[in-house]
Structure 1
Amino acid sequence: MKKVFVMLSLGLLVAGTSFAQDAPVKERKARTERSGREGGRKENITPEQKAEKRAQMLTKKYNLTQAQQEKVKALYLQQAQERTAFKAQRDANAPGNQQQREAMKAKHEQWNAEFQKILTKEQYAQYQNDQKARASRFEGKGGHKGHKMKNRAQKAEQKS
């Protein structure tokens, strides 16, 4: 009787494990197909398209008026064109040049000042809060070299 019981339980055990292995296997797409990009490269968007997309996003987020939207679109079109020219110049020269970095920072400050003139005080305050929140989100990740060094210095200060 014991032998029959052991044999039946072994048979059920073998049958149960064989059914557990028949789960359908999903085919996984390549990373480039999942991201929706061809060849894994970013789409080439013209500066006009970039400016339009950015202006629409800011209009939704900060409830811009039509006049503000046109000014923002013009500002971002200018910015996108200057960045494209800057990247072409940077690629021609040695990358990582300190003068180029300083020039880009100065341009960014200029764009920011012009952007502040376009928005109302409330809209600009909301924009600054969003920028601070975005910066704090990326602070611990060490995305840029400067941030990583700053975080290391902060960590060293906290330990001592």
Structure 2
Amino acid sequence: MKKIIAALSLGMLVAGGSAFAQTSTKPQDQKPRSEMRAAMKDRAQKSPEEMAQMKTDRMAQRLELNEAQKSQLQALNMRQAQEMKAMRESHKATGEKSTEQRAQMQEARKANHDQWQAELKSILTAEQYAKYEADREQMKQKRADGRKGQKSGEHKKSGEHKKRGEYKKQQQGK
């Protein structure tokens, strides 16, 4: 009888330990990937005016902007959104892009962003800009943490892309 109880308790302990080891480490506030994709698709379909308004509202809330700052930021975001839309449309019209053209596009986007940053700095107070920079660094770190192990081509080095293809072929053959 004692052996049976000991065996059952040991079995429960092992089962509980393995169940605990399989719990997800995903943060509870993180949205499912499908929701994030839908949000990105919605964002891509918004007009420059809507994008500028969303960005302004989000920044006004986080940085506690006054009305004058909010209106200046709205104008800045509106101008940037329209410039980015014009850039996207001109690049779509050119069709296939060479490496040199891509580098030029990237340089133009960087120059546009640097100009936006400089104007933003003139609108915000030193404390607000410091908070903005801290938030930006935090988001950059989150993105970097999310991409760990998914560096460019890393899955190809391990041969995972081939394994996935073989698996699909096996499933289709059945």
Q: TM-score, normalising length from structure 1? A: 0.62
Deviation per CA, 1:92-142, whole angstroms, max 9, x where unpaired?
A: 223461111111111110100001110000000000000000001111334
Distance 1:136 1:41, change over 3 A: closer
Q: Where in structure 2 are the equivalents of 1:36-115 lying within 5 Å? A: 41-42=41-42, 44-93=45-94, 94-95=96-97, 97-115=102-120
Distance 1:92 1:126, change over 3 A: same
Separation (CA, whole Å) in 2 of partners of 1:117 and 1:91: 33
* Structure 1: segments with no counterpart, 5+ residues: 1-30, 150-160
Separation (CA, whole Å) in 2 of partners of 1:41 and 1:134: 20
Separation (CA, whole Å) in 2 of partners of 1:103 and 1:52: 23
Structure 1 residue runs of 4 or more that deviate by more than 3 Å after TM superposition: 140-143
- 1:51 deviates by 1.3
CA RMSD of aligned residues (A): 2.8
Letter paired with 2:126? K
- 1:65 deviates by 0.5
Where relative contact order (Cα < 8 A, 6+ residues apart) is larger, the structure is 2
Separation (CA, whole Å) in 2 of partners of 1:78 and 1:148: 34
- 1:58 deviates by 1.2
- 1:148 deviates by 3.8
Separation (CA, whole Å) in 2 of partners of 1:58 and 1:113: 16
The percent of aligned pairs where both chains have the same amino acid is: 31
Which of 131, 140, 146 is 1:135 aligned to? 140
Letter paired with 1:71? Q
Separation (CA, whole Å) in 2 of partners of 1:125 and 1:41: 31
* Structure 2: segments with no counterpart, 5+ residues: 1-32, 153-174
Separation (CA, whole Å) in 1 of partners of 2:108 and 2:151: 22
Partner of 2:122: 117
Partner of 2:12: none
